[in-house]
Structures are given as C-alpha cells and as structure tokens.
C-alpha cells in the first residue's frame, strides 16, 4: 500500500470519528420527532457523514481528516470542486466503489480510486 493510500485511510478514519461524535449529538434530538429505529440506524449517520463531508469539501476542498493527513481533493480538470462532483463522489464511494476496489485491489490507486475517476477528481498530497 502506497503512502497516499495510507493517508486516505487515516483521513476517512478521522472523518468517521468526527461524524460519529456529531451523530451522537444529533440523534437524541431527532428521536423526539422520529420514532422509526431504522432511520436512526441508517439514515441519520449517513446524512450526517455526507452533509459534513459535503460542506467541508465545498468550502475548503478538504475534510478535517484530510487536513490532518495532509491531502486535498481536487477537480481533475483544475479549478474548484462542483456540487455534482462532490455528490457523485460520495454516492459512488458508498455504493459501487467497494466492489470495484475489491476487484482491483492489487493495483496502486493512491491518487484516483474508482469513485475519484467517476467524479473526475483526484487526491493530491500537500507539501508541508
């Protein structure tokens, strides 16, 4: 596994922790209004994680985990990330990408994993 892939793994682990903490705050507030348990088990954590990631990528091109890891998501064509790119990247990463990654697991995919290729984004290591 190359260094960039390790940084990506560390970044998403940090993002999961941050998202989990925020979900722990939001969920009790939603339980008063929404009684279905499946919503709290599936929809709330996903919505919080995606929402948090979307806002961070839109504002700075990095999530908190990516800042700590020293990486940044960029538009493959240059310029700022578009709303469509961010949403395509999130949806593909959390649905189809694990199957594609498993199929291609022996290959070096550091800068562009399947969800990056689909959304036309790439990950760049920042110089410190």
State how far the Cα of 62 lies from the Cα of 68, in Å rounded to an integer.
10
128 CB neighbour count, 10 Å cutoff:
4
Model pLDDT for residues 34-54, shown as the tens digit of each residue? 989 898 899 999 999 999 999
Token duo for residue 46: 């996903």
Q: Give the pLDDT of residue 99.
A: 83
Model pLDDT for residues 83-120, shown as the tens digit of each residue? 999 999 999 999 988 887 777 776 666 678 888 889 99
Q: Give the pLDDT of residue 128.
A: 63
Task: Reduce the DSSP state of residue 33 to 3 states and report it.
Answer: coil
Which residues are registered as beta bridge partners of 47?
none
Please give the helix or strand (H or E) that residue 46 lies within, else none: helix 44-60
Residue 108 has φ and ψ, to the nearest 5°, of: -80, 115
Q: What is the pTM of this model?
A: 0.85
Question: Do the Cβ atoms of 8 and 71 come closer than 8 Å?
Answer: yes
Q: Give the pLDDT of residue 108.
A: 61
Please give the helix or strand (H or E) that residue 73 lies within, else none: strand 71-75
Q: Give the pLDDT of residue 101.
A: 74
Q: Give the pLDDT of residue 26.
A: 92
């Amino acid at each position: 596994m190359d260094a960039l892939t390790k940084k990506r793994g560390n970044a998403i682990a940090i993002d999961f922790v941050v998202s989990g903490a925020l979900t722990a705050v939001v969920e009790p507030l939603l339980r008063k209004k929404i009684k279905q348990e499946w919503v709290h088990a599936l929809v709330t954590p996903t919505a919080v994680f995606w929402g948090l990631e979307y806002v961070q990528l839109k504002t700075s091109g990095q999530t908190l985990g990516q800042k700590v890891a020293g990486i940044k998501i960029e538009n493959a064509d240059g310029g700022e990330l578009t709303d469509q790119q961010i949403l395509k990247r999130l949806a593909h990463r959390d649905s189809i990408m694990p199957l594609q990654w498993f199929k291609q697991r022996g290959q070096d995919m550091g800068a562009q994993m399947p969800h990056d290729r689909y959304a036309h984004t790439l990950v760049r290591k920042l110089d410190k």
